[in-house]
Amino acid sequence: WLGHYQFVNGYDDSQEIFIVQDTYVEGGQDYRISYQDIIDGWRSFNYTFMVVYPQERVEEVLTVLGPWSDPEWANLHALEIAQSESETLTGIDQFFAQFNTGTSHVNLLQYADAAPAFDRAFNLYANLIADDENRPYRIMWYQTWPYWAYYYTGRYQDVINLADTTLNDTISEPVLEESLYWRALAREALGDLDGAIADLQESVTLNPNFTPGWDQLARLGVGGG
């Protein structure tokens, strides 16, 4: 499992397929993918979508979106879907649904509810078959919401433990600036200022455009590495 982009340029309702362009798979030009496969893949990112539109058509877009234009409604709706799916699905799909429950709680600033939701998700993860198809070990590369939940509920050591696992066990080199950033904040909260600064400096060394890292270094009165 990994995050991957496909460009959708057509569909066929009679066959329930999308037509996509995919540079990753063999025969990716005009590649056919079923509606259900899209839904199954989309679930792993909490069914997030982004609308791109010209400013002069904003009113038309808001009309088409209806309640989806209200972030609070959209996040509550996503939470309802995630909670329902976490009770009915199994295996990796249940893991994603439970992870989405935590994500939606974070988006609603409900950190006290998000943290145990992620605990349940990681318990499900631990029971998945330990291979690349069934255990989505890359998920923290793309979605850092558990860090938010644990940090804002004061579970700083859990932030560090999760970051350590992500940096050391899921990638060949510890080059994920977001994980370094959250580990830095947790280290600072636990009194390890030197460790925090080192992580922040490494985060902006890896990605000079990583503004959150620079902002924290400026707050601490320290420059980049």
The pLDDT of residue 65 is 98
Confidence bin at 225 (pLDDT 50/70/90): low
Q: Is 149 inside any structural domain?
A: no
Name the residue type at position 136. P
Q: How far is CA 3 from CA 19, 57, 92, 128, 136, in A?
A: 19, 31, 15, 19, 10
The pLDDT of residue 5 is 84
Whole-prediction pTM value? 0.93
Helix extents (H) in 170-219: 177-189, 193-206, 211-219
Residues contacting residue 224 through CB under 8 Å, at least 6 positions apart: 201, 204, 205, 208, 214, 217
Domain enclosing residue 17, as ranges:
1-43
Q: Is 148 inside any structural domain?
A: no
Please tell me the total count of domains within the chain. Answer: 3
CA distance 69 to 72: 9
Higher pLDDT among residues 5 and 84, named by residue: 84
CA distance 225 to 221: 13
CA distance 95 to 133: 13
Q: Is 204 inside any structural domain?
A: yes
Higher pLDDT among residues 134 and 61, named by residue: 61
pLDDT at 9 over 70: yes
* 19, 10 contact by CB (below 8 A): yes
String of b and e for 25-57 (b: at least 16 CB within 10 Å)?
A: eeeeeebebeeeebeeeebbbbeeeeeeeeeee
pLDDT at 177 over 70: yes
Using one digit for the tens of pLDDT, what is the confidence trace for 114-157? Answer: 999 999 999 999 999 888 778 899 999 999 999 999 999 999 99
State mean pLDDT over 56-70: 98
30 shares its domain with 69: no
Using one digit for the tens of pLDDT, what is the confidence trace for 11-34? Answer: 999 999 999 999 988 889 999 999
165 shares its domain with 213: yes
Q: Is 147 inside any structural domain?
A: no
39 shares its domain with 57: no
Using one digit for the tens of pLDDT, what is the confidence trace for 65-121? Answer: 999 999 999 999 999 999 999 999 999 999 999 999 999 999 999 999 999 999 999
CA distance 101 to 146: 11
Q: Is 76 inside any structural domain?
A: yes
Q: Is 213 inside any structural domain?
A: yes
Two tokens at 77? 């709706």
130 shares its domain with 186: no
Two tokens at 181? 């950033």
Residue 19, phi then psi, degrees to nearest 5? -105, 125
126 shares its domain with 200: no
71 shares its domain with 37: no
Query: Which of 203, 107, 214, 115 lies closest to 157 in space, CA to CA?
Result: 115
Q: How far apart are the first and last CA of the chain?
A: 33
Percent helix, percent strand, percent coil in the chain, to nearest 5: 60, 5, 35
State mean pLDDT over 161-185: 98
131 shares its domain with 62: yes
Confidence bin at 1 (pLDDT 50/70/90): confident
Higher pLDDT among residues 179 and 27, named by residue: 179
